[in-house]
Structure 1
């Protein structure tokens, strides 16, 4: 019946699966006519355009992003020193060694502590300062909410640490924490808190807390600007309606500002968590040797100083897994219904 109808209308018979597969890789001008008039070819043509359009970016991504990860995992299964082209395949011996390495567990604990506390403190301060700058001023005429006077200047001041290189930040704070002539000890002495002065801020148990303070200080300005931009996008009519209902600043923040900026907060949390895990520059420059370690600094020590590149690569794989698990958890646990306004 269908063959008779095709013969009457002059249409070509359906193309075979093989011809359709070959046509997927051919430009439209070289596609056989028999395939071109097949109904299945129309959908194939759509996917062919998308596939060829994404082929080059995907190839570059696979070559420069995915391939190094695969190579890193392979080298983590060897005893490669990093100084020669020879190595022996050792299986999961490096990971078994990690499991029994006390220094690695200490570095992992420090990194996890920064991962938990740094985003919490930094984002809380960023939200507080941004809300005060955008809604903490006195009520002005014909305005539901208003920022403090000179808020633009304060944003520049808060953002200033982001302009500095992280190496410069580490050097400056290393001088501040210096036990002899550092500004911290001298400042405590001036206000009469000599008992709080320390002989070694960065060499003992206080080192992790000093690094945490510098990490939060250096990034809080970025989040003040980021959250200020998100808050300025909220329509003023929403605030006007809440004020008419008698809502105060605290209620306005938790019922309006926080929910409507949640997507930005979640993204900032992931970004700050990654920055906390990558505290190598701060620790390597600011903290004296053996003062404390985080995963990146311990990786650097094993790869460069001890020439144990295979073992260091295994540490890098663990760091990658910790970062991946953190990002996935934040994306899933922080998922909420999108609020349109």
Structure 2
């Protein structure tokens, strides 16, 4: 009976595993090989050059700018997104007057918070291009100009552009995690919150001593997802910013440099080397995050 069950499971898994190997593992393996060549495109014959592309990466100042921006996003995007999402989810589910129920209209607010997830990333980028316009048609600069103040170059000032991109990324991501954390809080028995409130726990104590420990597994998963998303913010940067990562490479990220080198400069070998670095960044971050955030599971 056991052998029949094993054969049944293997039979069902064979096709998905084969497709995964063909469409995921094989392209990764090809990318590792192409990173060791100077391949220029489909019609060019690749020449094996060893680790030359990786040596060039260490001398590429634009690439290191992209790495720095990704590292900043890797830290700031999960911290800001999860912090804001936890705050709003707590208000919607626990932060009412009684301390154990949500605020009035919480179901409506969940829909409002989730709305940015319905929009495609490219649409969000184009939308905020208009929001950040430096003239009277820009939603943020119009009041400043009307008040006689200098408009802010949200996407034209190198000192401001990166933070503008970060704000858009956080704005788009928060809604999903508000809904995710709300679902997690809804699954916690209200008796726990009521017991803590009876024992004299205020809202801060409810949040830090009850809510956070019970949601830790969900927060851990969200941190990993947001970290991976922070390493792949190509669409927003490419569509929204000047010069596709400008001005003066102030918003560029590794994914944008990979695309630029591959499809504008036709340096596929060099772009693949960047892709290999990004791959190890992603895997390393996921493994490190899961390791450092591991805690004893709380059952309820």
How high is the TM-score relative to the length of structure 2? Answer: 0.92
**RCO comparison, higher one (Cα < 8 Å, 6+):** 2
How far apart, CA to CA, are the structure 1 residues paired with 2:269 and 2:64? 18
2:201 aligns to what?
Answer: 247
Whether the aligned pair in 2 keeps the contact of 1:202 and 1:288 (CA below 8 Å) is: yes
Q: CA deviation at 1:199?
A: 4.1
Match of 2:106 among 135, 139, 151: 151
The runs of 5 or more residues in structure 2 that have no matched partner are: none
How far apart, CA to CA, are the structure 1 residues paired with 2:241 and 2:232? 15
Matches within 5 A, 1:1-341: 51-139=10-98, 145-180=100-135, 181-190=137-146, 192=147, 194=149, 197-199=151-153, 201-289=155-243, 290-291=246-247, 292-341=251-300
How far apart, CA to CA, are the structure 1 residues paired with 2:145 and 2:217? 44
Q: CA deviation at 1:236?
A: 0.8
Q: CA deviation at 1:193?
A: 8.3
How far apart, CA to CA, are the structure 1 residues paired with 2:166 and 2:154? 16
Q: CA deviation at 1:60?
A: 2.2
Residues 160 and 182 of structure 1, relative CA distance in 2, 3 Å threshold? same
What is the CA deviation profile of residues 16-56 of structure 1, one whole-angstrom value per residue up to 9, with x for unaligned ones?
xxxxxxxxxxxx9xxxxxxxxxxxxx7x7776665555333
The runs of 5 or more residues in structure 1 that have no matched partner are: 1-27, 29-41
Q: Whose Rg is larger?
A: 1
How high is the TM-score relative to the length of structure 1? Answer: 0.82
Residues 121 and 200 of structure 1, relative CA distance in 2, 3 Å threshold? closer
